[in-house]
Amino acid sequence: MQILKIQGGRRLVGQVKASGAKNAALPILAASLLTADDLVLHNVPDLTDVRTMLKLLEGMGVTVKRDGETVVLNAGRVVSTVAPYELVKTMRASILTLCPLVARFGHAEVSLPGGCAIGARPVDQHIKGLRLLGADVIIEHGYVKAKADRLEGAHLFTDMVTVTGTENLLMAAVLAKGTTVIENAAREPEVVDLIECLNAMGAKISGAGTSVLTIEGVDRLHGAEHSVIADRIEVGSFLIAGAMTQGDVLVTHCVPKQMEPILDKLREAGAQLDVGDDWIRVRMTGRPKSVNIRTAPHPGFPTDMQAQFMTLNCVAQGTGHVTETIFENRFMHVPELMRLGAQITIEGSTAIVTGVEGLTGAKIMATDLRASASLVIAALAAQGESTVDRIYHLDRGYESMESKLKALGAEITRENQ
């Protein structure tokens, strides 16, 4: 087991380059199954979850060649349409192979992901939509087993906004016969990035970024070259770290126009932001002001930034209310933050955070991906030494976070326990 050891209280100053977005890379890697030609992807982050997806695809017969941030995939000789439990249980986004496999090969057996730390995370909408597109789908021995001679276009409504649900159904519809409409579709930038990649592969999808997507099915998709968008959540996490340590941090290779909800809240908290086309500079002097957060589907405030803003509220002037509306159990960072001296009470889906002058270092434990980032950020701002345990959660979604933080002046080391 590895831990991060952090000496807090140092200002973060300097420049850091954003990596490609995990939540854009994962569906786009699965989209390689939709063609027999090469899919050439740039700016693919090197993360545990990405490595798991590549391993899953290779197990199906997809050839994978990685050269730095570029990955070339070819699904010309797929030998298996099974996504085994052993891999799916470590990375829920494996469910994103279900629909491309059915769309191109007419069958798939994908293990149900099972729950995760932040919630039950059912995939009923993925299955409901796939059935409406004409597939026979059964759940047997913990696997989703689907087959269809050829999917038929349909008019789909998802019961709630679901990011991977929208992405999965898009990848079913692109090769279906006829037209598909998806209403109540997710509008996240990562969904838009997948659509841009699919259209580059010859798909005919319109409505990207809106809640109504129209897909004209085609007979086959061809290869393409695509660059994955920057990770707005990683960027947001570094901006919060810069603000909390009274620092001066410039994040490059990012997409500010996709980050308005995050930047708006940072300004409300008193951060000074300078924004260019592909860069954002954050400066903060003195304590931040408390902000109220209510998570919502894009273009609302992203749930993946909830924990990081809760951390900012911990040392802010005033009391901030943080309401989580997307997942039922996404406050596991609260007891860990309280070990650092935070004052937080939870009432239902709202955490009430009373800001304190400062936090003090302690031993803390990561519980899920974004919570682990919020704990690292809190430890950077706390006086004294902290250790963060179970950082495999962090490695799932942040590419070499400690080396990026070290380059900004943080005193942080990874140690084997």
Residue 197 is among the residues annotated as catalytic for this protein:
no
Q: What is the DSSP letter of 255?
A: -
Q: Which of 99, 116, 254, 314 is catalytic?
A: 116
Which one of 161-169, 222-230, 235-243, 270-278 is the stretch in contact with ligand EPZ (CB under 6 A)?
Answer: 161-169
Query: Would you count residue 165 as binding ligand EPZ (CB under 6 A)?
Result: yes
Which one of 66-74, 120-128, 279-287, 385-393 is the stretch in contact with ligand EPZ (CB under 6 A)?
Answer: 120-128
Query: Would you count residue 119 as binding ligand EPZ (CB under 6 A)?
Result: yes
Query: Would you count residue 238 as binding ligand EPZ (CB under 6 A)?
Result: no
Which two tokens mark 27? Answer: 């569906």
* Separation between Cα atoms, residue 240 and residue 247, nearest integer Å: 10
Binding mask 370-399 for ligand EPZ (x = CB under 6 A): x--------------------------x--
**How many beta carbons lie within 10 A of that of residue 416, not counting itself?**
6
Compute the least distance from the CB of residue 300 to ligand EPZ, in Å: 10
Among residues 163 and 291, whose Cβ is nearest to ligand EPZ? 163
Which two tokens mark 360? Answer: 């003090």
Among residues 31 and 369, whose Cβ is nearest to ligand EPZ? 369
Among residues 258 and 303, whose Cβ is nearest to ligand EPZ? 303
* Separation between Cα atoms, residue 31 and residue 69, nearest integer Å: 18
Compute the least distance from the CB of residue 164 to ligand EPZ, in Å: 3
> Which residue of 121, 283, 289, 294 would you call a contact of ligand EPZ, by CB under 6 A?
121
> Which residue of 122, 142, 276, 299 would you call a contact of ligand EPZ, by CB under 6 A?
122
Sheet of 224-227, strands arranged across: 63-67, 70-74, 38-42, 224-227
* Residues 25-54 contacting ligand EPZ, CB under 6 A: 26
**How many beta carbons lie within 10 A of that of residue 322, not counting itself?**
26
Query: Would you count residue 261 as binding ligand EPZ (CB under 6 A)?
Result: no
Query: Would you count residue 126 as binding ligand EPZ (CB under 6 A)?
Result: yes
> Which residue of 243, 369, 378, 394 would you call a contact of ligand EPZ, by CB under 6 A?
369
Compute the least distance from the CB of residue 57 to ligand EPZ, in Å: 15
Among residues 284 and 351, whose Cβ is nearest to ligand EPZ? 351
The C-alpha angle 67, 392, 322, rounded to 5 degrees, equals 110
Which two tokens mark 199? Answer: 């259209």
42 by DSSP, 3-state: which?
Answer: strand
Tell me the DSSP string of 270-292: T-EEEE-SSEEEEE--SPPBP--
* Separation between Cα atoms, residue 94 and residue 76, nearest integer Å: 20
Given a contact cutoff of 8 angstroms between Cβ atoms, the answer to whether 364 and 307 are in contact is no
Query: Would you count residue 300 as binding ligand EPZ (CB under 6 A)?
Result: no
Cis peptide before 297 (omega within 30 of 0): no
Render the burial of 365-398: b for 16+ CB within 10 Å, e for the rest: bbbbbbbbbbbbbbbbbbeebbbbbbbebbbbbb
> Which residue of 93, 144, 228, 284 would you call a contact of ligand EPZ, by CB under 6 A?
93
Query: Would you count residue 23 as binding ligand EPZ (CB under 6 A)?
Result: yes
Query: Would you count residue 6 as binding ligand EPZ (CB under 6 A)?
Result: no
Active site residues: 116
**Which residues of the shown chain bind ligand EPZ in the complex (CB under 6 A)?**
22-23, 26, 93, 119, 121-126, 160, 162-165, 303-304, 326-327, 369-370, 397
